[in-house]
Amino acid sequence: MPELPEVEMVVRGLCPDVIGRTFTNAVINWERQIAPLSVKAFSERITGQRVEQLSRRGKYVVFTLSSGALLVHLKMTGRLYVSLPDQQDHADRWVRAIVGMDDGRELRFSDLRKFGRLYLVKHAEEVTGNLGPEPLSEAFTLERFQELIGHRKGMIKPLLMNQEFIAGIGNIYADESLWLAGIAPRRGADTLKPGQIEKLYHAIRQVLQQGIENEGASINWYRKPDGSTGSYQERFYVYDRTGQSCPRCGDAIQKTRIAQRGTHFCPSCQV
């Protein structure tokens, strides 16, 4: 599933093509992927809407419209891209929604697994209101992170992936952050010492920024809007490196399951 860096790259890639454009029509091929409106209501409401701004909130792509907002969650296999009506793309075989624009091009949403969602709402906060802070924002200070962890119980990895705790971190960047901070993924959040919390805070921001600088990790379905791949998968510390040497201590990286997610870690230098 695309995480904060991947969604950020989708937003950056789409901005030149959609900001200032007006939506002229919509064709929905899989009605269960739109919410909370019917297909008819969705098509009627989005027609004539101008894209004033494009941004990211957590793992959501947020189109701020002249009236309301369109939010897209890519989930596992979702892709957003812009094409001419007669232009064919590999992802077109799974197109679930097409929104026409006033320059003659189309904003397309492709999703093989059909888990992605499009939300057309009056206010973006109707969808994002429960999300935690943005980990790369100026407001996300070390002091704020310390307050958030407080005396939270439970394993640290599932906590990092809890979108109401921090927005945008998923399986990849949780594993990478915990390795960089030297913290075992099963470690209880309430057992972390102040120094470890500080290391984790800086590790989270570092790996997310590295993910953005390398244009995301294309290990499965993630592609930028132009169809090209990111390169962060070539720089993983532990994720998807089971059996390979730990970059820090040389021990073999192991994989286990935590909260039903594959989890990669070094058994020697993550404590």
The Cα 123–Cα 111 span in angstroms is: 25
Crossing angle of the two packed helices 171-181 and 194-213, in degrees rounded to 10: 130
Lay out the sheet containing 106-111: strands in order across: 23-28, 95-101, 106-111, 78-83
Cα Rg of the chain (Å, integer): 20
Q: Which of 2, 135, 185, 225 is catalytic?
A: 2
Distance CA 189, CA 227 (A): 39
- CA 262 to chain CA mean position, Å: 18
| AA letter at 231 | S
Question: Is 223 in the active site?
Answer: no
Q: Look up tokens 């891209």; give the residue.
A: 81
Tell me whether residue 32 is one of the annotated catalytic residues.
Answer: no
Check 21, 45, 56, 59 and give the catalytic one: 59
Q: Give the CA angle between residues 60, 174, 195 to the nearest 5°.
A: 125
Distance of CA 133 to the CA centre of its chain: 14
Question: Using CA atoms, how far apart are residues 251 and 249, in angstroms rounded to an integer?
Answer: 6
Residue 136 DSSP SS3 = coil
Concerning whether 114 is annotated as a catalytic residue, the answer is no
Q: Answer yes or no: 2 catalytic.
A: yes
- Report which DSSP code applies to 246: P
Query: Which residues are the active-site residues?
Result: 2-3, 59, 261
